[in-house]
A and B are shown apart, each in its own frame.
Chain A
């Protein structure tokens, strides 16, 4: 069956360090992968999208990699700040051409001052 796993439910890191979150999937062949941020009591907010033919994508302090052989995406936040504390969700399309997304259960990141 299809599955999306994010490495841990919770991750605590020190301010200024790089946070690395993992998204692994099985039985999918996604055309792209998205990362979202969710704060308590709010809906998810889109951060980055990476296509299957892209190895890496950057946006300010964020970097996403996508390895379709390993079926894994890594999400990095460099120079982390307490304001980065939130839950981060990865999402995959069901199959090429589909418009719907399947979400992982998320990793709750806490950046400690």
Chain B
């Protein structure tokens, strides 16, 4: 298995532009997580899905952020409009079941820079 796939790996954009980050979880995993990592705040959970349904989006910073999971093999995180403070590394992770105790498998991340 190729693991969790994220695209793009790097994104540089200007303030006000729309940014879409993409994630393909590991096949068979039915939980998907979006995280943001910065030096100041560390790794923060933004939102997670079980069986394509959003379960907890309390970590989404504001209405400019939205996430979708139209099917079991694809998810997007969109920022519109983007701001310089959104610059961070965004990770997607998946987990094999919707229950507890399961390890999470992380993708390589997308490094976002908003100028």
Chain A interface residues toward B at CB < 8 A? 31-32, 34, 41-46, 49, 51, 89, 93, 96-106
User: Which residues of B lie under 8 Å from residue A43 when comparing CB positions?
Assistant: 4, 91, 93, 106-109
For the complex, give the distance between the alpha carbons of A31 and B99 in Å.
12
Residues of B in contact, count (CB < 8 Å): 27
For the complex, give the distance between the alpha carbons of A35 and B50 in Å.
22
For the complex, give the distance between the alpha carbons of A31 and B55 in Å.
19
**A31-B101 contact given A100-B33, A104-B42, CB 8 Å threshold:** yes
**A100-B107 contact given A43-B93, A44-B43, CB 8 Å threshold:** no
Nearest 10 A/B pairs, CB to CB:
A43-B106, A46-B103, A105-B42, A103-B43, A44-B106, A43-B91, A100-B48, A100-B45, A43-B109, A32-B101
Q: Number of A-B pairs whose CB atoms are under 8 Å?
A: 59
Flag if A99 contacts B42 (CB, 8 Å).
no
User: Which residues of A lie under 8 Å from residue B109 when comparing CB positions?
Assistant: 41-43
Instruction: Judge whether B82 is part of the interface by a CB distance below 8 angstroms.
Output: no
For the complex, give the distance between the alpha carbons of A18 and B42 in Å.
26
Interface residues of B in 37-89 (CB under 8 A from A): 42-45, 48, 50, 55-56
Q: Which of A31, A41, A42, A46 contacts B100 (CB 8 A)?
A: A31
Flag if B98 contacts A101 (CB, 8 Å).
no
Chain B interface residues toward A at CB < 8 A? 4, 31, 33, 35, 42-45, 48, 50, 55-56, 91, 93, 95, 98-109
Flag if A99 contacts B108 (CB, 8 Å).
no
For the complex, give the distance between the alpha carbons of A32 and B95 in Å.
16
**A34-B100 contact given A43-B93, A99-B55, CB 8 Å threshold:** no
**A49-B43 contact given A42-B109, A43-B93, A100-B48, CB 8 Å threshold:** no
User: Which residues of B lie under 8 Å from residue A99 when comparing CB positions?
Assistant: 31, 48, 50, 55, 95, 98-100, 102
For the complex, give the distance between the alpha carbons of A103 and B45 in Å.
9
For the complex, give the distance between the alpha carbons of A32 and B56 in Å.
19
- If A46-B103, A99-B50 are given as contacts, then 14 extra A-B residue pairs at C-beta distance below 8 Å, sorted by A number, are A31-B100, A41-B108, A42-B109, A43-B91, A43-B108, A44-B43, A44-B91, A51-B101, A99-B31, A99-B98, A100-B56, A101-B104, A103-B43, A103-B44
